[in-house]
Chain A
Amino acid sequence: MVQYKINANPKIYETAGKSQRILTETEQDEDCRDDFDSQEIFDLIRNINDPEHPLTLEQLNVTQCNHIAVDDSANYIRVEFTPTIPHCSMATLIGLCIRVRLLRSLPERFKIDIRVREGTHQSENAVNKQLNDKERVAAALENKHLLEVVNQCLATAA
């Protein structure tokens, strides 16, 4: 897909390998309402593959649990991600993958904002605007080629 890599030698971070989620007693009680939290959202997106490396978004530190805000009662989720380099042209694609993953996994009631972490990309506003324009997201997902690329990145996520 890409002839040369935009960031040929990214820094790879240690990962925990599996979810850090600690199940509490109430969470295991099926009669108890169990709200979504940021760890759960993180688990949904941490294993998404980077578009140009055989590495996950977690390994590249693109996504971090404490950069995810969840307000279950308000049906609101905000995910901030950190491109590996400030001029990364893959930033929009990575954000799109995160959006699609959450669209497919979460109940429809959630409103989701996906944003680049402040100060981590030179076209931060342009990337954010595009990722949160649902009309452009809908048009992008009707593009077969792009959808294939997204699905490839998501293949490792589940």
Chain B
Amino acid sequence: MAKIKLLAELKGHHDRTWQISWHRSGQFLCSCSGDRTVHETKPVPVDHPLVWHCLDVLEGVHKRTVRGVAFSPVGDDIATASFDGTTGIPSRPGYECVAPLEGHENEVKSVAWSHTGNLLATCSRDKSVWIWEVLGDGDFECVSILQEHTQDVKMVLWHPTLDILASASYDDTIRIWRDDDDDWYCSATLSGHTSTVWALDFNAAGDHLVSVSDDQTMKFWRCETPHELTSTGATLRFRQDPTWKCVATLANHHTRCIYSVSWSKIHGLVASSSGDNSICIFAPDRITAAHGISDINCVQWNPSPDYADILASAGDDGVIRIWQVTDVE
């Protein structure tokens, strides 16, 4: 069994905290909340694990709940997704606010940067997924609007090493989006969940995906690359998209909606968080009442090898908690 220790509690938000995003260095994080702000919080997790400072509070960027926040995997840029229908890109230094990205018809639910930081994806209750090209100097150009989900899109996430996007929806499906010469299309629809898919994450290699749902299950999906079709010496060139097959379903770990999942790229452990107030860690372990009586909306493993044992969580109580998970065999 893993040993789990609560290292710190970061208070400051005045409403439900929705999401956290670690900086790639693992040395600070951003959180967003129903209080319409984003907090950038810096600890020194190893040297001073209990001492955290709020570095910056981003206020006035959004008029409504900030639902999503994402650190760029390459720079120090952050992107924010808000119920006010816009995506914010507060720029350095001091996160001065440049013009927000507009276009979605209503609430933006999630925002994600591709592995190179060259592409940004957003999704919305308007059922669409937008892909933006990052042109630099605060310029973004919408390169594709993908409208195949039939309901509210809850989350977008890029593949860890390729320009492949995954989206999760209220329509109970996950879709995988690829580009063919800048033409973005849906290459796979993953069906199996029986209610809203709230979140997903790739493993380090990007050949597996984990998803969590309101149906209280967690599903693991494996990417299967089709064999080249050959017939009588001539190679038939079809657009052969990999398929994703559900290889495992974990039920009975959570008793209410599962809102978030994080698959560590360092040690491979998966953490999930739920409306049943608990965080589960697979190799299965559990932190009960991890935020007291509150729903836990987000869990994120620290991305840095130096702090790989650190897990952060965000709850309806407006608190961010930092956990250390050790002795995992």
Indicate, yes or no, whether A interacts with B: yes
Given known pairs A111-B256, A133-B196, the reply for A138 and B16 (CB within 8 Å) is: yes
Q: Nearest chain-B residue to A133 (Cβ)?
A: B196
Asked if B294 contacts A108 (CB within 8 A), the reply is yes
Asked if A129 contacts B196 (CB within 8 A), the reply is yes
A136 to B64, CA, bound (A): 13
Asked if B34 contacts A136 (CB within 8 A), the reply is no
B254 within 8 Å of A by Cβ?
Answer: no
Asked if A139 contacts B125 (CB within 8 A), the reply is yes
Shortest beta-carbon distance, A143 to chain B, in Å?
9
Q: For chain A, residues 100 to 158, give those with C-beta under 8 angstroms from any C-beta of chain B.
A: 108-109, 111, 129, 132-136, 138-139, 142
List of B residues within 8 angstroms of A129 by Cβ: 170, 195-196, 214
Which of A111, A136, A138, A139 is the one whose CB lies under 8 Å from B275? A111
Q: For chain B, residues 240 to 276, give those with C-beta under 8 angstroms from any C-beta of chain A.
A: 256-257, 275-276
Asked if B293 contacts A109 (CB within 8 A), the reply is yes
Asked if A135 contacts B67 (CB within 8 A), the reply is yes
A133 to B125, CA, bound (A): 12
List of B residues within 8 angstroms of A136 by Cβ: 125, 152
Asked if B34 contacts A135 (CB within 8 A), the reply is no
B107 within 8 Å of A by Cβ?
Answer: yes
List of A residues within 8 angstroms of B34 by Cβ: 138
A108 to B318, CA, bound (A): 13
List of A residues within 8 angstroms of B170 by Cβ: 129, 133
A129 to B152, CA, bound (A): 12
B309 within 8 Å of A by Cβ?
Answer: no
List of A residues within 8 angstroms of B67 by Cβ: 135
B65 within 8 Å of A by Cβ?
Answer: yes
Which of B64, B125, B295 is the one whose CB lies under 8 Å from A142? B64
Asked if A139 contacts B83 (CB within 8 A), the reply is yes
A132 to B198, CA, bound (A): 13
Shortest beta-carbon distance, A31 to chain B, in Å?
24
Given known pairs A108-B293, A109-B293, the reply for A139 and B256 (CB within 8 Å) is: no
Shortest beta-carbon distance, A36 to chain B, in Å?
14
How many residues belonging to B are interface residues under a CB distance threshold of 8 Å?
A: 24
Shortest beta-carbon distance, B27 to chain A, in Å?
30
Shortest beta-carbon distance, B9 to chain A, in Å?
17
List of B residues within 8 angstroms of A142 by Cβ: 64-65, 83
List of B residues within 8 angstroms of A7 by Cβ: none
List of B residues within 8 angstroms of A108 by Cβ: 293-294, 316
A135 to B276, CA, bound (A): 16
Asked if A139 contacts B295 (CB within 8 A), the reply is no
Asked if B65 contacts A138 (CB within 8 A), the reply is yes
List of A residues within 8 angstroms of B193 by Cβ: none
A108 to B316, CA, bound (A): 10
Asked if A75 contacts B65 (CB within 8 A), the reply is no
Shortest beta-carbon distance, B244 to chain A, in Å?
24
List of A residues within 8 angstroms of B256 by Cβ: 111
List of A residues within 8 angstroms of B64 by Cβ: 139, 142
The 4 A-B pairs at the shortest CB distance, nearest first, are namely A109-B293, A142-B64, A139-B107, A139-B83
Give me 8 other A-B pairs in contact (C-beta within 8 A), A109-B293, A136-B125 excluded.
A129-B195, A129-B214, A132-B257, A133-B170, A133-B196, A133-B214, A139-B125, A142-B65
B→A interface (CB under 8 Å): 16, 34, 64-65, 67, 83, 106-107, 109, 125, 152, 154, 170, 195-196, 214, 256-257, 275-276, 293-295, 316
Between A and B, 28 residue pairs with Cβ closer than 8 Å are A75-B293, A108-B294, A109-B293, A111-B256, A111-B275, A111-B276, A129-B170, A129-B195, A129-B196, A129-B214, A132-B214, A132-B257, A133-B170, A133-B214, A134-B295, A135-B67, A136-B125, A136-B152, A138-B65, A138-B83, A139-B65, A139-B83, A139-B106, A139-B107, A139-B125, A142-B64, A142-B65, A142-B83
